[in-house]
Amino acid sequence: MRKIITIALGFFIASLSQAQEASITAIKAGKLIDVENGKLISNQIILIRHDSIISVGANITIPKNATVIDLSSYTVLPGLIDCHTHITGQPGGDYYAAIFRQTPVDVAVTAHIYAKRTLEAGFTTVRDLGSAGLVDIALRNAINKGDIVGPTIYAATVFIGSTGSHGDLNGFSPYLEFNAPKGMSGVANGVDGVREQVRFNVKNGADVIKFGASAGVLSEEESVGAPQYSQEEMNAIVSEAKMWGRKTAAHAHGAEAIKMAVKAGVASIEHGSLVDAEGIALMKQNGTYLVSDVYDDEYILSEYSKLGFPDKIINKEKLVGKLQRENFQKAVEAGVKIAFGTDAGVYPHGWNAKQFKWMTRFGLSPMGAIQAATINAADLVGIKEKVGSIVAGKLADIIAVKINPLEEITSLENVQFVMKAGVVYKK
């Protein structure tokens, strides 16, 4: 009897071992970009169980029953992270029609298309910084449940802005009324008002808080960079967000607004177009990330007049586009922390990687640009322990390209392989 039990136990252990091996995926990486150490290594094996990496190295034995993915003629790197998207929509028609005829339902109907395009472009994670009608939250939740395909989303819900600001609807008759439900417009004023809006966003699922420190380009208020909140209001937004365990991202083009937001303690400055030497020094001192959308100028000046955008907006872009790139280069040279963010949605989703060329043209090395979109971006979002590099214990967010991007950065515009959390979405 004891012999029968021993034999049965042996069969059970063998079967269990085979099942465990069968649940393992092995990737053969011809070249692998080690973003943590800033180097390229060759002939690596990546072992994955379920959604996570269990080991990486050159001399790893592949289990007999493992699923093998041969990327030995490819360069493998971590899934990319875009820290500034608006994934639920993009320009595609008349500017005024979008304002007056579209509802959040229209946005929701197509949002899944843009999510899929973004993932297939190699971006396995995004920080989405503003969406109408909480569509970003519904999209995030549907992706997390596996109902639709898309990147992991860290969502901001509604943009917080003052009356008459970049976050408000300007340039129209005051006799027109737009009756959004309380909190859904994002317009908030005064210390108590902005604290209440932060709480509204958190209540409705915000992972990050986005607010307008300055005026902007793609809106009809007069300025492009003037501060649009007081120092006390910015301090209140950041402190309230911290109380709820949320980081803050400040939309800020103007030099003074950038400095005010940094002093308030924001995690990142978005755009940073007109940052001056004092602002650069302050960002470096405080460890504030710069997320600068240095590709956008190309698309806006090429396409936005055709889409019916007012001359006022086009002229504002002409004012800031060149300066943004020059100041980005100054920030890079000064050692400001850089995270990758595109403002995708300003231009078509899936084009996110077009920005790499412009980041390298204006100061970053190819490795630096890739680190900005991987380990640096993960640090900014607050998920460095989960993603951002290919090491044991992290999620298996992995992409591959045929041409080594350290030699030709534009190869990232044509990603051939995408794995997110151990599941292959493009091969």
Mean pLDDT (whole number) for 12-20: 43
**Residue 48 in tokens:** 């994955």
Give the pLDDT score at 183: 78
363 — alpha (psi -120 to 50), left (phi > 0) or beta? left
The amino acid that residue 398 corresponds to is: I
What average pLDDT is seen over the chain? 92
- Would you say residue 26 has pLDDT above 70? yes
Q: How confident is the model at residue 126 (pLDDT cuts 50, 70, 90)?
A: very high
Give the pLDDT score at 417: 98
- Tens of pLDDT, residues 309-354: 888 889 889 888 899 999 999 999 999 999 999 999 999 999 999 9
| Cβ-contact 173, 143 below 8 angstroms | no
Give the pLDDT score at 17: 45
Inter-axis angle of helices 311-334 and 296-303, nearest 10:
170
- Tens of pLDDT, residues 145-192: 999 999 999 999 999 999 988 887 877 778 777 777 787 889 999 999
C-alpha 415, offset from chain centre = 17
Write down the residue that tokens 């979008």 correspond to: 98
SS3 of residue 246 by DSSP: coil
Give the pLDDT score at 10: 47
Give the pLDDT score at 115: 98
Kindly state the percentage of the chain with pLDDT values over 70: 95
Query: Where along the chain do its domains lie?
Result: 22-79+389-426, 80-381
- Tens of pLDDT, residues 217-246: 888 887 888 999 999 999 999 999 999 999
Lowest pLDDT segment from 207-221, 236-250, 357-371: 207-221
Q: How confident is the model at residue 11 (pLDDT cuts 50, 70, 90)?
A: very low
**Whole-prediction pTM:** 0.93
**Fold classification of 22-79+389-426 (topology level):** Urease, subunit C; domain 1 (2.30.40)
DSSP state of 300: H
Give the pLDDT score at 22: 58
Residue 161: CA count within 13 A, CB half-sphere: 25
Give the pLDDT score at 287: 98
Q: How far apart are CA 323 and CA 305, in angstroms?
A: 21
Give the pLDDT score at 3: 53
Give the pLDDT score at 248: 98
Give the pLDDT score at 260: 98
- Would you say residue 31 has pLDDT above 60? yes
Give the pLDDT score at 189: 97
DSSP string, 184-210: TS-B--HHHHHHHHHHHHHHTT-SEEE
Give the pLDDT score at 223: 85
CATH class of 80-381: alpha beta
Q: How confident is the model at residue 305 (pLDDT cuts 50, 70, 90)?
A: confident
Give the pLDDT score at 303: 86
Mean pLDDT (whole number) for 136-144: 97
Mean pLDDT (whole number) for 65-78: 97
- Would you say residue 425 has pLDDT above 90? yes
Q: How confident is the model at residue 21 (pLDDT cuts 50, 70, 90)?
A: low
- Would you say residue 144 has pLDDT above 60? yes
Edge-to-edge strand order for the sheet containing 398-401?
A: 52-57, 39-49, 24-34, 67-78, 398-401, 417-420, 423-426
Distances, alpha carbon 68 to alpha carbons 47, 65, 341, in Å: 9, 9, 33
Q: How confident is the model at residue 19 (pLDDT cuts 50, 70, 90)?
A: very low
